[in-house]
Amino acid sequence: MTRLGWYRFAVVGGAVALLEVLSLTGAIDKITMQAPHLIVRDLWRMLVSGRMNGAIMKTMGNTVLALVLALGVGIIAGALLHRLRALRDTLDPLFATYYAVPVFAFYPFFIVIFGLGDTPQILIAFMLGVVAVIVNTLNGLDRVPNVLLKTARILQMSPVDTALRMTLPSAGPYLLTGVKLAVAYSFIGVIGSEFIMSRGGIGYEISFAYANFDNATMYPLILLILLASIAINGVLSRWEQRLLSRRGMR
Amino acid sequence: MTAPKRGWLQSGWAHTLVLVVALLALWQALYWWAGDVALAPPLATFAYTAKLFTTESFDAHVIDTLRAFAIAYALSVVIGLVVGFWLGFDRLSGDVLEPMIVSLYAVPKLTLYPILLLAFGLGLSAKVAFGVIHGVIPIILFTLSAVQNTKPILVKTGRVLNLSRSQMVRWILFPAAIPEIFTGLRVGFALTLIGSLLAEMFASQRGLGYLLMNGIGLHNVELIMSVTLIIVVFAFAVSSFLLYVDKRLHRRV
């Protein structure tokens, strides 16, 4: 591990140790929070017993569905908008302020339209992710050097070949930024809407456990979500950095 | 640098206008398609919204949301700037902590809300805390990168002039970093608003977020649509303004 890695490890370790000490001495009472080692133990037991598997699968399934939709629609829309200058200019104010509008505010409205099933959750997660994909696709396509496209024309490459061999490699890092954001947003969208109002999933289980003062379920689940989102984001960020540094952009 | 002169039809205002008209038309079309049970048409929603603002209890909810949001944003700005400047200044702390803060960005923070509720209790302080954990992260990150990316020549000039650390911040780093810090403040504004509204939706007896959830319970479509409309228009208007200022600041440098 690098020196910085050790420092980070020390910061996180120190924080956990502090929580542990505060819990054991009773400065944080048991009703508010359990000691970290108990949370880890409960998480382990929960995963081994498999009683949360249904909720985990439901959340994962919806997240993946929303992600696939956001990527598919986002990349196609991005590619189309790149060609349609006028439409792009018109939609630009929408993209620029899109993330200032709380998408979750539409959730009650979607529940009224589609009922309290998976559809409103997937729709919210999709809406959160898709604009990030569109914006980053446009950004990537804007930065494809013109000389590459001219070269492709001189070599008389087919449109498919041009896309695969010229456009994709050079827009790749930006597309990946969009993918990374879309992963995070679909996860946030699904968990968030489950948490606000739903009939199942990890977010629902957390809010259910909270309502029943069931800390032995709530904290392990929160820890699970923290670890999962940080791990996925870490892997994608690494990959993004590698692609960027290969082009000397970082 | 001046922008090239463009006709009114190509200006940003015209695009925004076209966009708004298109969205309204889409809304009306959706209403014709989905019907009264699911949707209220635009005109009826505007009328209902106007009527809402004349009732006293509704105004109390709006003021409640605004109060929580204002406190949360003020705290986010202060904490974000202080931490951002510290991490930007102190290379080692910045390098150690920045990736950790970035990864917090991807966490569904809504799940942390029960912890905040247990720590702060049901009420204003939990709402504020929730707004702050959303809003403070972008402000820290943008401030940090603004300070780190200050042109070395400016810093060197400060050193030659023997400026103290606080003078350095006041006269060199802060002015140079303002455009990027402002971008952070703009993003932080949006996220703080989202945070405080979410907090109200989940556990609160007051505010616009509560009204939204209440609307589901009562199946009051007009109420849900009016409150959603108010939130969207407010967020869109303020952030368009901030974006305009942001672009001007960036053009100056």
Contact A90 B10 (CB under 8 A): no
- Do the chains contact at B228 and A105, CB–CB below 8 Å? yes
Q: What is the pLDDT of residue B10?
A: 56
Q: Which domains does chain B have, with CATH numbers?
A: 45-252 (1.10.3720.10)
Distance CA A203, CA A31 (A): 20
* pLDDT class of B2 with cuts at 50, 70, 90: very low
A110 touches chain B (CB under 8 A): no
Is 70 exceeded by the pLDDT of residue A35?
Answer: yes
Q: Say which DSSP state B4 is in.
A: P
Please identify which residue in the block is written with the tokens 């390098």.
Answer: B95
Helix, coil or strand: residue B3: coil
Q: How far apart are CA B67 and CA B54, in angstroms?
A: 19
Q: Does A96 touch chain B (CB under 8 A)?
A: yes
* CB atoms A12 and B219 under 8 Å: no
State the average pLDDT over residues B105-131. Answer: 82
Q: CB distance B108–A92 less than 8 Å?
A: no
pTM for the full model? 0.82
Nearest neighbour of A93 by CB, restricted to B15, B104, B202 = B15
> For residues B252 and B150, what is the distance between their CA atoms, to the nearest angstrom?
15
Cα–Cα distance, B66 to B249 (Å, whole number): 27
| A231 vs B104: CA distance, rounded Å | 11
Of A12, A89, A192, the CB nearest to B108: A192
The pLDDT tens digits for B40-79 are 888 888 888 888 888 888 888 888 889 999 999 999 999 9
Measured between CB atoms, does A206 come within 8 Å of chain B?
yes
CA atoms of A143 and A168, how far apart (whole Å): 11
Question: Are the Cβ atoms of B243 and A111 closer than 8 angstroms?
Answer: no
Minimal Cα–Cα distance from A12 to chain B, Å?
Answer: 9
Question: Is A104 close to B99, i.e. CB distance below 8 A?
Answer: no
DSSP A33: -
**How far, in Å, CA of A225 to CA of A223, rounded?**
5
Closest CB to A112: pick one of B102, B105, B224.
B224
Q: What distance in Å separates residue A33's CA from the closest CA in chain B?
A: 8
Residue A65: the pLDDT is: 93
Q: Residue A184 and residue B119: Cβ atoms within 8 Å?
A: no
| Measured CA distances, B192 to A101, B129, B134, B135, B139 (Å) | 11, 10, 6, 4, 11
Residues of A with CB below 8 A from B240's CB? 93, 96-97
- Chain A CB contacts of B103 under 8 Å are 229-230, 233-234, 237
What is the model's pLDDT at position B108? 80
Minimal CA separation from A147 to chain B, in Å: 27
Is residue B6 scored above 60 in pLDDT?
no
> Does residue A82 carry a pLDDT above 50?
yes
Closest CA to B201 of B224, B220, B171, B185: B224
Does residue A33 surpass a pLDDT of 80?
A: no
pLDDT at B11 (0 to 100):
62
Residue numbers of A between 120 and 179 with CB closer than 8 Å to B: none
| Mean pLDDT, range B21-30, rounded to an integer | 85
Chain A residues inside the 8 Å CB shell of B102: 237
Model confidence band, residue B1 (pLDDT cutoffs 50, 70, 90): very low
Closest CA to B23 of B45, B3, B6: B45
Q: What is the mean pLDDT of residues B125-132?
A: 89
Closest CB to A94 among B19, B95, B102? B19
State whether residue A1 sits within 8 Å of chain B by CB. Answer: no
Q: How far apart are CA B217 and CA B229, in angstroms?
A: 19
Give 3-state DSSP helix, strand, coil % of chain A, rounded to 5: 85, 0, 15
In the 3-class helix/strand/coil scheme, how is A135-163 assigned residue by residue?
Answer: HHHHHHHHCCCHHHHHHHHHCCCCHHHHH
Tell me if chain B has a CB within 8 Å of the CB of A70.
Answer: no
Chain B contact present for A8, CB below 8 A:
yes
* Closest residue of chain A to B198, computed from CA coordinates: A104
For A189-201, b/e burial (b = at least 16 CB within 10 A) is: bbbbbbbbbbebb
Looking at residue A64, its pLDDT comes to 93
Q: Output the pLDDT for position A122.
A: 92
Least confident of A26-35, A207-216, B82-91: A26-35
Tally A–B CB contacts below 8 A: 151
* Chain B nearest-CA residue for A237: B103
